[in-house]
Amino acid sequence: MTDRQLITLRVNGEESELVIDPRRTLADTLRQTLGLTGTHIGCEHGICGACTVLVDGAPARACLMFAVQAEDREIRTVESLADGDELSDLQRAFAAHHALQCGFCTPGFLMLAEGFLAERPAATRAEIRELVSSNLCRCTGYQTIVDAIEDCARRREAGRTGRDRAAHGAAERSDGAA
Ligand code: FES
Ligand code: FES
């Protein structure tokens, strides 16, 4: 019999104290202990990517991590994307491009893309194609998933450019006024 351990997990900005078996995976802990069932479990050995979450901002397979290894790390699950009933821009892009059918793989792809775009906001289509090869989808043929991630990246880029222009214009106006 193993000794259960008291750990503090920070998930989606909320801290929880849990007493768990050290062998318990992060995926099982998220789903069964914290009730965050958006993280799916497919293969349970690191192949399919359905269990992908963000650990300190980087995509990670929650089935390959013990929950005790996630202590003092910032965990984000798919539940963190939407703001109440309002889907995130990435989720809206998946819906608009029909990037899901059965949806089983979708939380994993969303978190994979969320972490990737934070790191590589100007990712090319070729880079996005390479990215999605790390997760398995048996329904879509991947094309629409690539379309959705690329669309989200371009929209975010356009938003940043617009904001930069607005800030630049405001700076020039205040210089002129001085
Ligand atoms: Fe984790 Fe498949 S369930 S990679
Ligand atoms: Fe069914 Fe990807 S949408 S496995």
Read off the pLDDT of each residue in 156-165 and give the average, rounded to a whole number: 87
Domains of the chain in sequence order? 1-80 (3.10.20.30), 81-178 (1.10.150.120)
pLDDT tens for 85-127 read: 999 999 999 999 999 999 999 999 999 999 999 999 999 999 9
Query: Sheet harboring 58-61: ordered strands across?
Result: 14-20, 5-11, 74-76, 52-55, 58-61
Nearest ligand, CA 40: 1
Atom 1 of ligand 2: nearest residue by CA position: 102
Is the pLDDT score of 1 beyond 60? no
Q: Where are the beta strands (DSSP E) in 70-118?
A: 74-76
Neighbour count for residue 99 (Cβ, 10 Å): 29
Tell which residue, 111, 108, 113, 120, has the closest CA to residue 12.
Answer: 111
Does 110 contact ligand 2 (Cβ within 6 A)? no
Confidence of residue 7 (pLDDT cuts 50, 70, 90): very high
pLDDT tens for 66-75 read: 999 999 999 9
Read off the pLDDT of each residue in 141-165 and give the average, rounded to a whole number: 93
